[in-house]
Structure 1
């Protein structure tokens, strides 16, 4: 039994005995759970992640037991003292429930009951995945800590993930990382069903048809494949697409052009949430809204007045303004991230990420059937049972039927045409270069549409196809249900028709479960909850004892790999596990182009190539401020046995899952040297590490260096005391008299591995940078020429200064818009922009 289970029983069982005998107040148990929560946050803050996780689990058990006891205690105290107490209690309970149901029938039917249904569906699908532990698969990597690197603009990816990293960081103070992950997984399925249900009900779909649309939107091959790929951010945004689209439709509704500020505010907030979780889904939703707006204007024709059209355009402009304000924090960062990532994509990536022919070796058919994910090797229901293609053709037939029946209707016509067009567009783009029918269109878009190659793999467009299927099939079910209802009211075969209709409706309702049965079966057991090895926590504790600012190098040098304690393959989890700056393989093995923008990657790859001739690796790693080397005994870890032969690496932890080596050389984030040493390449740099102290020089790479003329000797250097203000800001104390030479150089090792945005104050002359045109490059650090003898230096990441303004503007805008939606439900804006009424009672 785990320790947290034993502690929980040791607390709860005695409390239950005291409650049964002495009726002790259950609120004491809740108070104790809150103390445990505070203790968990404190342990997490000081770095005891394993202890914090155990305390958090005990907190959850104690809080649950306390809440249950409070409910039981209230029931006992509310019982009538005379007569048959059980009968009186049951009668009162029945009367209370009946009264509540009658009074809130609409709320129950439209929100409470659907919420219970989709919550139950989520619990059914996730099942054993909700047990304590981390679900680690491909890109879904959670750990004991939430890194904040994205906050400072050092992340290579574009999007609103900066806000998500801050939100996760705050969540980790009140619950363990595995609980945060499980909440996200639950909400993905829950929101998918609930938002699609609200969207369907808005357009008049009845109970069965609305529930079918919601179930299909939650249970389908697209969600199944993306969950196995660990694309939880994309799926979370996907779950909110129906809500975002519905809010936009309400905003531009020509019939109800009131409360524009409030409608635009709530629409902008939801769209910004999409950008936080996945920028691609944000763009897909924007495409859907543009399609709808064009179709709506065409569909309205001359029936609407010019004033209504002008107000509709005004609403769109207000929405755009709100979106810019809410997303300014990452829009300011776009030039940096676009340069780092999107700029490195080429058409080879389009080939590598092309959709796969999952169904009958036909890519277009696979896409139409909601398959086609580029990563092969996943088990799919349709490959085990090809006869399931019959259900797909049923879906396709009902979708076409729904489109033809309702495309010309006044209320549902625009959204029907929009989703029909989106379905066709998504099939064409998602098929991409995999079919000669669509290759020309996709190539044209890839070459001519800005940022289109940022989608990387086109199968993401299937999200729009699933949305279209769910709604259009719902319309068909609504029509069939209405037709059978009218036919069944008369005629001698009324009973038979009603039974046949019921059977048909039930079969259609359960068809998504049959079509994607592997998802319903907890993803066919391919996802499991695991705990990080205890030896990893021991290694972390050893490193935490060293309070200086240093980096940890992690091997094996892979972006994705299998671990011997988990049966799934996933991205490097080390940045979410260790507190220190971690240098790990960031190369995406699925990329055909440049997937790793780390400046350290060329040096590490050269080390691995020359590993058999290296004996002083610690000396070389001092150039990267690496104090510890962590070897995970996974994948091809036997290729890293050379670490045990290094004379300057000390083995401080060794187990079946990992080994930890300590670098015996001194390291520092910043140091001063008096000489520059140029080498022709990384092999020469590695050779020099065997004979000279690497901190004696500021090493640079220059192709013009003659190798035979180099003769290196140990020189003077001075390690500096650097204070880490944040990951983007360092204060460096230098002596008033440097005492090395008349010309000195500052070497600063950036923690992120990206150096293009680092600056100094006072400004120093950069000797070398990654963007230099002089043919000189750095092995991963910054070199500045020091003039004079400054006593204090500040080295900071300049893009964060720009991001900070965006954060402030976005945060203030968010607070104001949330107030506009929830606190001030009606804002009347006069012609010159002054609010005539700020606060009004919410009815």
Structure 2
């Protein structure tokens, strides 16, 4: 089968996996789960570009969604993005297996698109992280070819999905690219050292430029870069199998939030079988690692480095805490499990390689079993993660509230009660979701509690407005005088309606089953906590030029140019055609 046909088959397989995984989430409406927040009719606002003063974790993914939603309905955008994750993951991983055989490539693609990491991060709602994850095998291929013509352009193109995903996705991809580029660049002599330095500089430059949309507003926040070392224990990897935390990470699981572990995952029998698959994949990669593929050692180094970062918070929390105290930017390493992504690439390619060796040995059942094993051993990812991911519609009360707030020419901001970061709405089947109102009421600055509570420990809020209003809002009945001083024009109560409302002369302008709105007259101008627009505009301009530059060479298809250095291995059992 020719190269383009193999890529097409892998893409169709990925699409089938995505359809199977999303299931009821493909119905009209929105899938709302933890960090996955999509709203109807999003608009470009200061929040979209991170200039309101909050930590810009949603930049630039919100801008990308808003741009797509100007062409197709927002709920369709969500489904297209989620399906694209599975299509890209299967296609990119399949492309890394150096064989002409289809089944070994599909084994790698299916393993990479359907595993505990994907399931847990999908349930956690981190679609933006998964977007970068899906393109990570392309990043590996591009980073290994940095010394060739157009290598820098290829790397920028490969990093684009991670750049859209934002800081977490780009951090994982940059770490992988750096390890692959440095190890693959040259030998240990002086020329090799120079080549490695040049490769590292190119990776740093590409990742740095693509980070500008979130890096600039993050660094220019008046409140500075947040970094609370006390949160290390909250987000450290946890055991979700009988093999402990490190064993769970090796099996590509170990997410910190136990509520996002798929139903039935981690049972002794299936966990043991999955362990056997992973060990076989690692053995296959180890044997294949002696071949001629140039990035083989680089990927192994990236997987080892990623595993070390993933385990850091669990086995050496004081070290990570000290790093964050030294520089708050190291807080990006707190959610360690996301750094097992390069290990997932290695496991997938290793499984494909093992299946290819079995095919060479004329064991046709092994490649078929390798393709089916990930799905069989994790069946509860299917049908919306066993029904957890279902499409819902926002209640009519929300649309009424938006018309009221957006139709008021007086200006002013919005405070949301109850004072909690996540909601478990009855209309969302009780599924936890990050407060959607800041995106839903896009015509106003919406102040919510952005503190994260896990068990008895709370990470303090990061939004300066939330910090100032926290004491009053936490009571459930903040005084109107306090709200006026902070420039709050409306208070929206989207849960516990009736028990929470402003204390004082506030006007109830709407009250429904799912939401209530109170207006406060005489709000003053709020304190300036925002980020200057000019540097942010300049950052987007630089990134736009870099992306344009990356596509100014022939062959700008995302996948094919990235795969140019990956040639199928000739089977020793196959005769050459004269």
Q: TM-score range by the shorter chain?
A: 0.7 to 0.9
Shift of 1:192: 0.7
CA deviation string 1:714-760 (max 9, x = no partner): xxxxxxxxxxxxxxxxxxxxxxxxxxxxxxxxxxx14xxxx356xxx
Structure 1 portions without partners, runs of 5+: 1-104, 486-500, 670-748, 758-796, 826-843
Q: Check if 1:472 corresponds to 2:321.
A: no
- The 5-angstrom pairing of residues 424-443 of structure 1 reads 424-435=304-315
C-alpha change, 1:321 and 1:588, in structure 2 (3 Å) is: closer
Query: Match of 1:270?
Result: 158
Shift of 1:323: 5.0
CA distance, structure 2, for counterparts of residue 357 and residue 154 of structure 1 = 38
The equivalent position to 2:92 in structure 1, one of 167, 180, 195, is 195
Q: Check if 1:650 corresponds to 2:530.
A: no
C-alpha change, 1:425 and 1:647, in structure 2 (3 Å) is: closer
C-alpha change, 1:647 and 1:398, in structure 2 (3 Å) is: closer
CA distance, structure 2, for counterparts of residue 628 and residue 523 of structure 1 = 38
Q: Which is richer in strand?
A: 1
C-alpha change, 1:544 and 1:393, in structure 2 (3 Å) is: closer
SS in 1 for 2:459: coil
Shift of 1:147: 5.0
Shift of 1:124: 2.2
CA distance, structure 2, for counterparts of residue 338 and residue 277 of structure 1 = 24
CA distance, structure 2, for counterparts of residue 385 and residue 327 of structure 1 = 40
Q: Check if 1:806 corresponds to 2:520.
A: no
SS in 1 for 2:258: coil
Shift of 1:170: 2.4
CA distance, structure 2, for counterparts of residue 131 and residue 264 of structure 1 = 41
Query: Match of 1:136?
Result: 32
383-392 or 116-125: which moved more?
383-392
Q: Check if 1:571 corresponds to 2:434.
A: yes
Query: Match of 2:379?
Result: 517
For the Cα contact (< 8 Å) 1:652–1:660, is it kept in 2? yes
Query: Match of 2:403?
Result: 541
- The 5-angstrom pairing of residues 8-87 of structure 1 reads none
- The 5-angstrom pairing of residues 95-494 of structure 1 reads 106=2, 108-144=4-40, 145-148=42-45, 149-151=47-49, 153-157=51-55, 162-200=59-97, 203-204=98-99, 206-252=101-147, 257=148, 260=149, 262-297=150-185, 300=187, 317=201, 320-321=204-205, 323-336=207-220, 340-342=224-226, 344-346=227-229, 348-360=230-242, 362-380=244-262, 382-383=264-265, 385-409=267-291, 411-412=292-293, 414-435=294-315, 451-482=329-360, 484-485=361-362
Shift of 1:246: 1.1
Structure 2 portions without partners, runs of 5+: 559-578
Query: Match of 2:572?
Result: none
CA RMSD, 1 decimal: 3.1
Q: Check if 1:605 corresponds to 2:483.
A: no
Which TM-score applies when normalising by structure 2? 0.86
For the Cα contact (< 8 Å) 2:355–2:366, is it kept in 1? no
Query: Match of 2:523?
Result: 667
Shift of 1:587: 1.9
C-alpha change, 1:503 and 1:403, in structure 2 (3 Å) is: closer
Query: Match of 2:416?
Result: 554
CA distance, structure 2, for counterparts of residue 400 and residue 113 of structure 1 = 25
For the Cα contact (< 8 Å) 1:272–1:323, is it kept in 2? no
For the Cα contact (< 8 Å) 1:329–1:805, is it kept in 2? no
Shift of 1:163: 3.8
Which TM-score applies when normalising by structure 1? 0.60
For the Cα contact (< 8 Å) 1:210–1:474, is it kept in 2? yes
Higher relative contact order (CA 8 A, sep 6+): 2
CA deviation string 1:418-438 (max 9, x = no partner): 333333333333233434xx5
SS in 2 for 1:812: helix
Aligned length in residues:
552
